[in-house]
Amino acid sequence: MSVRQKAGRFYPVLFMGRYDARTGKPVYKWFGGFATRKEAESEERKLRIELEDKGSVDRSKETVAQFLERWLAYKSTDGTAPKTLQGYQDIINTRWVPAIGHIRIDRLTGDDILDAQTSWLRDGVVVHNRGRKGRTVIPKKQTIKNYRRCLHTALEDRCRWSGNTLSNPSDRVAIPNVDDAPEVITLEADEARALLAVASESSDIRAQLIAFGLHMGMRPGELLGLRKRDVNRPGGFIHIRQTVAQLRKRGLVIQENHAKNRNSKAPVELTAGADQALLRAAVIQSKQIQLAGSAWVDHNLIFTSPTGGPINPQWLRAHLKKLLEQAGVTRIALKDLRHTHATILLGDGVHPKLVQERLRHSRISVTMDTYSHVTPTMRSGTASRFDGLVVTPIWENVWEKDETEAQDSEQSFAF
């Protein structure tokens, strides 16, 4: 679905199923102008249906660009989170449509996908950061993997819509092997204690959010969207039912938690430290309400801006940097609070399955892959622990009685 904003109005924009003969660029048409995005999206759906009924889009000759445009419209209505949808749009409009958009979808081959992939790795891609002039960079293999995952998901939906009578050409092309997992930077246990000590003394609600996040291992968006009614203090757990995302041109957006796996919807146990952070946040928020007066807008959030809305992530990151400096500990990103939580638990011998459930990962393999740097520590001492469980003094006495035989055996295994 394509709705664009201009001069305070929202306009449905449809791909007309053809390309400009001179420039080769896709042809779009703007319709109407509405006061709200919701009205424009509703009109866009109606216009799309009318165009298809009139035969403006010939599915028998549908191009990759036309199909992907149709797929994005579908994804905007199937519960896909806004930030995820924005990522799909960016990848499709800046990468796949320019590379293979002109090819008929029924003639798309694995070679076409491989050629695009090879070109990006060899010649680079143009990126634009916050309105700056575009520059060419060679993408990382993980980035290419993300591009491929997006296309594969779209083509899988096409196969499903056809009743699985079609094949997915993306299946026949190897995805670049990502050798090195991204480095996970975390705090040591003593550093985490130092950060929590500084946060507990702060009268800033952002500090209480940071302390709560370290205690709970939640994602930043989940922390920002946590509501009072999602917390059961007497029961000692919380439910994560909504998140806050920062979207380009739309600012902060509160959205439902569209998690598809059972673990993501399960309650998360509160720690005693997290409970204390909630109490401190409640005291600070009561002062915020008094100061804001009529400007206060209640969103039922626990961690709030001075007027009751969600806290801006940039504002939060700046405060985390300040707290880390005060505590004199390692510089980490906001998301690394979650990594620190998991690493400390795993390093203390907590079973990975329990950590997986606490982090709400869909599979234990995700947990193990992300925190593979901790597993050598977990494995160390395993052999001696087994010995401690099964080796008896009887065996030890046998070797003590015949030290010569023991020495001979050791020498026989010398390399």
Domains and CATH numbers, the chain: 1-57 (no CATH), 59-180 (1.10.150.130), 189-376 (1.10.443.10), 381-415 (no CATH)
Q: What is the pLDDT of residues 124-171, one digit of tens each?
A: 988 877 666 778 888 888 889 899 999 999 999 999 888 878 889 988
Return the pLDDT at 148.
93
Q: Looking at the DSSP assignment, which residues form a beta bridge with residue 30?
A: 13
Q: What CA–CA distance (Å, rounded) separates 104 from 100?
A: 9
pTM across the whole model = 0.68
For the cut 50, the answer to whether the pLDDT of residue 321 exceeds it is yes
Q: What CA–CA distance (Å, rounded) separates 141 from 176?
A: 6
Nearest to 342 by CA among 323, 325, 320, 364: 364
Distances (CA, A) of 366 to 97, 352, 355, 360, 397: 31, 10, 11, 10, 46
Return the pLDDT at 395.
47
Return the pLDDT at 127.
84
Q: What CA–CA distance (Å, rounded) separates 141 from 365?
A: 21
Chain-wide mean pLDDT for the chain? 83
Return the pLDDT at 79.
73
Return the pLDDT at 42.
80
What is the residue whose two structure tokens read 């109407």? Answer: 32
For the cut 50, the answer to whether the pLDDT of residue 188 exceeds it is yes
Question: Quick one: how far is CA 88 from the chain centroid?
Answer: 13
Give residue 25's pLDDT band: very low, low, confident or very high (50, 70, 90): low
The mean per-residue pLDDT over the stretch 351-371 comes to 88
Say which residue, 375 or 356, is predicted with more confidence.
356
Asked if 353 contacts 364 with a C-beta cutoff of 8 angstroms, the reply is yes
Return the pLDDT at 167.
87
Q: What CA–CA distance (Å, rounded) separates 329 from 322?
A: 11
Say which residue, 144 or 49, is predicted with more confidence.
144
For the cut 80, the answer to whether the pLDDT of residue 410 exceeds it is no
Distances (CA, A) of 385 to 53, 221, 261, 346, 394: 71, 41, 35, 17, 18
For the cut 80, the answer to whether the pLDDT of residue 116 exceeds it is yes
Give residue 413's pLDDT band: very low, low, confident or very high (50, 70, 90): very low
Q: What CA–CA distance (Å, rounded) separates 122 from 139?
A: 9
Largest CA distance in the chain: 96
Query: Which of 127-136, 255-264, 335-344 shows the highest mean pLDDT?
Result: 335-344
